[in-house]
């Protein structure tokens, strides 16, 4: 009876995940002694054949036969991005990578391309509190590929710097992921980060005020006139006695 129920469930399965689950049930039943080895092997082979059949392209349903394969998704295909200007992409990558959106001890853990992608996410976090930009837009702004963005996000998740919220929708295109910065050190760095760090900076020079404006340094009169705070016992220049 158990073998018949499993065989019926395999026939009704319409996804690879369901078939994998049934395969695990088969061998758990065999280990528990409720399913014979021959029945378990037969059902396992049937599951394997069903998985291969599901992976094959399906034909268009209708009254006439059509051998053209159908798309695996009900949504329109992804539009291919045009080849970017490599010089401008490299300039954007260098600009974001050197904008110091991450502390130095964290920035050392990433490549320049990953650092540029994380800088775009940090800039969105500073403005909106989170980043919900599509992967393609983050890559375009950072001047890198989408694979580089994914690598940077994975590495940041391993270091517990960010949290990624997935927003799937059944029967509809998924919403973009929401990336939030959860590292206290990184959030504090962004909060006190000067806005001028991403702009070109010249050489530093400390400003000084004239000595005549200080309280303990009275104005010096070259002609030897009277000074209000002149020390006692000092004589005018050129006087005798």
User: Residue 161: which of 180, 144, 139 has the closest Cα?
Assistant: 180
Taking only the tens place, the pLDDT of each residue in 152-199 is 999 999 999 999 999 988 888 889 999 999 999 999 999 887 655 544
> Are 159 and 107 contacting, i.e. CB atoms less than 8 angstroms apart?
no
**pLDDT value of position 79:** 64
Instruction: Reply yes or no on domain 86-196 having CATH 1.10.10.
Output: yes
User: Residue 99: which of 86, 116, 124, 121 has the closest Cα?
Assistant: 116
> Are 47 and 19 contacting, i.e. CB atoms less than 8 angstroms apart?
yes
Q: How far apart are CA 73 and CA 80, in angstroms?
A: 16
Helix (H) or strand (E) holding 93: helix 86-97
* Segments of the chain assigned to CATH 1.10.10: 86-196
**pLDDT value of position 235:** 52
**pLDDT value of position 198:** 46
> Are 142 and 119 contacting, i.e. CB atoms less than 8 angstroms apart?
yes
Mapping DSSP to helix (H, G, I), strand (E, B) and coil, where does residue 162 land? strand
Q: Token digits for 231? A: 């020390």
**pLDDT value of position 89:** 83
> Are 162 and 180 contacting, i.e. CB atoms less than 8 angstroms apart?
yes
Instruction: Please tell me which residue, 146 or 6, carries the higher pLDDT value.
Output: 146
**DSSP 8-state code for residue 131:** B
Residue 226 has pLDDT above 60, yes or no: no
Q: Is the dihedral of CA 37, 40, 42, 44 positive or negative?
A: negative
> Are 93 and 116 contacting, i.e. CB atoms less than 8 angstroms apart?
yes
> Are 136 and 81 contacting, i.e. CB atoms less than 8 angstroms apart?
yes
Mapping DSSP to helix (H, G, I), strand (E, B) and coil, where does residue 178 land? strand
Q: How far apart are CA 129 and CA 187, in angstroms?
A: 10
> Are 146 and 135 contacting, i.e. CB atoms less than 8 angstroms apart?
yes
Q: What is the mean pLDDT of the chain?
A: 75
Taking only the tens place, the pLDDT of each residue in 14-57 is 888 888 888 888 878 877 888 787 787 788 888 888 888 877 65
Name the percent of the chain lying above pLDDT 90. Answer: 23
**pLDDT value of position 63:** 43
**pLDDT value of position 216:** 55
């Amino acid at each position: 009876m158990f073998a018949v129920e499993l065989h019926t469930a395999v026939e009704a399965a319409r996804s690879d995940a369901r078939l994998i689950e049934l395969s695990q049930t088969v061998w758990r039943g065999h280990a528990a002694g409720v399913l014979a080895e021959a029945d378990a092997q037969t059902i396992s082979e049937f599951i394997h054949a069903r998985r291969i059949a599901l992976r094959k392209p399906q034909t268009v349903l209708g009254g006439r036969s059509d051998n053209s394969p159908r798309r695996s998704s009900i949504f329109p295909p992804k539009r291919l991005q045009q080849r970017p200007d490599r010089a401008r992409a490299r300039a954007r990558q260098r600009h974001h990578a050197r904008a110091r959106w991450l502390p130095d001890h964290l920035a050392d853990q990433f490549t320049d391309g990953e650092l540029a992608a994380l800088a775009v996410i940090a800039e969105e976090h500073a403005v909106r509190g989170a980043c919900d930009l599509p992967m393609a837009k983050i890559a375009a702004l950072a001047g890198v590929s989408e694979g580089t963005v994914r690598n940077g996000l994975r590495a940041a998740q391993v270091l517990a710097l960010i949290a990624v919220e997935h927003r799937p929708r059944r029967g509809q295109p998924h919403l973009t992921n929401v990336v939030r910065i959860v590292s206290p050190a990184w959030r504090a760095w962004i909060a006190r980060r000067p806005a001028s760090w991403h702009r070109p900076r010249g050489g530093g020079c400390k400003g000084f005020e004239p000595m005549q404006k200080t309280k303990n340094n009275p104005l010096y009169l070259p002609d030897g006139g009277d000074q209000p705070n002149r020390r006692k016992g000092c004589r005018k220049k050129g006087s005798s006695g």
